[in-house]
Each structure stands twice: as C-alpha cells, then as structure tokens.
C-alpha cells in the first residue's frame, strides 16, 4: 500500500500523541496516585448534627496527618456554620463540608477553592492559607430565596 509521506507523518504524530497522553495519564494515576474526586464519603443528611465531625463545626488542630488543621463546615439554607472562622497564617487545612438540606456551593473568593455541597455527600479540599487577609465564602448554587445572603468568612491571621 502506498502512503504519502505527509500521511505517514500525520499518522505517526497521532500515534505518538496517543502514547504520550496515555503515559502521562498512567504515571499520574499509578505512580503519583492522582484520582478524580470520588464522592465516596457519604453521610446521612438528616443526621448531620449528630455525625462526627459535623457535630462540631469549626477549626480543629490535628496531629500526624498531611495537614495541620481540619475545618468543618455545615451548610443549610441560608447560612454556613461557622459563620466566621480564623485560620493561622501558613496553615495547611483540610476543609470538609456538607449540607443539611439542598445543594449549596462553597466558594472561597479569590482562591481556587470551589466545591459543590450535595445532600448525603462530604466535599473535601485541602489548601494552604499563606496570605493573610479576609476571604469571603459564598454560595454559588442557587438554593432559594436567601441564596444571595448565604456567606461566611475566613480570616487568615498571623499566629501570635
Ligand atoms: Cu446556598 Cu445558594
């Protein structure tokens, strides 16, 4: 079979790209252990207040983990608990959040933290807060009449 050299080059480029892509994907998945968010952490949405750690929303120092603090948020129409929280500058924080009623959003304005909170599921994101200041948390999933009022605040403060 005769093939034009451009056709061969293009075929080679296509196969090469496929190999590069699959190699990158394979290294990322099996060597670096990257996985898409699993949504495997579930919770009974009717018993959020009785289920640890959501029975005690707020910031908690933890030992022996890859992060320094755990920050637990419970969302419900139309507020977050806690309504305001202080985080020491430079802390690596695992945020864990869920909702008691409908779907809410959890966006920390000015950062890349942006989660959807679904009833029955626990959303997690680990972030390091290395810039002092106040960060607005807002709901970006329309959840009802008070949606636009639904906010909380993270204050990143220098440890004293
Ligand atoms: Cu909660 Cu919009």
Q: Tokens 């009974």 map to which residue?
A: 44
| Tens of pLDDT, residues 66-124 | 999 999 999 999 999 999 999 999 999 999 999 999 999 999 998 889 999 999 999 99
**Ligand 1 centroid to residue 52 C-alpha, Å:** 23
Question: Which residues, in sequence order, are CB contacts of 141 under 8 Å at separation 6+?
Answer: 103, 104, 105, 116, 117
Of 1 and 38, more confident: 1
Residue nearest to atom 1 of ligand 1 (CA): 104
Strands (E), 58-111: 58-61, 69-76, 79-81, 85-88, 92-99, 104-108
Any atom of ligand 1 within 6 Å of the Cβ of 13: no
53 and 133 Cβ atoms separated by less than 8 Å = no
pTM as predicted: 0.75
How far from 22 is each of 18, 27, 31, 106, CA to CA, in Å?
A: 6, 9, 13, 33
Q: What's the gap in Å between 102 CA and the centre of ligand 1? A: 8
Q: Percent of the chain scored above 70 by pLDDT? A: 97
Instruction: Read off the pLDDT of residues 149-160 as tens digits, 9 standing for 90 and up.
Output: 999 999 999 976
d(CA 147, ligand 1 centre) in Å: 4
């Amino acid at each position: 079979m005769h093939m034009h050299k451009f056709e061969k080059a293009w075929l080679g480029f296509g196969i090469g790209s496929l190999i590069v892509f699959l190699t990158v994907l394979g290294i990322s998945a099996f060597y670096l252990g990257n996985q898409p968010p699993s949504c495997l952490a579930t919770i009974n949405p009717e018993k959020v207040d009785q289920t640890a750690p959501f029975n005690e929303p707020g910031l908690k120092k933890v030992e022996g983990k890859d992060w320094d603090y755990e920050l637990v948020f419970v969302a419900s129409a139309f507020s977050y608990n806690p309504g305001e929280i202080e985080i020491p500058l430079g802390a690596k924080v695992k945020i864990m959040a869920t909702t008691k009623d409908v779907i809410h959003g959890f966006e920390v304005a000015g950062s890349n933290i942006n989660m959807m909170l679904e009833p029955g599921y626990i959303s997690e994101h680990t972030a390091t807060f290395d810039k002092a200041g106040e960060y607005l948390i807002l709901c970006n999933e329309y959840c009802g009449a008070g949606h636009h009022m639904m906010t909380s605040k993270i204050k990143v403060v220098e440890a004293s």
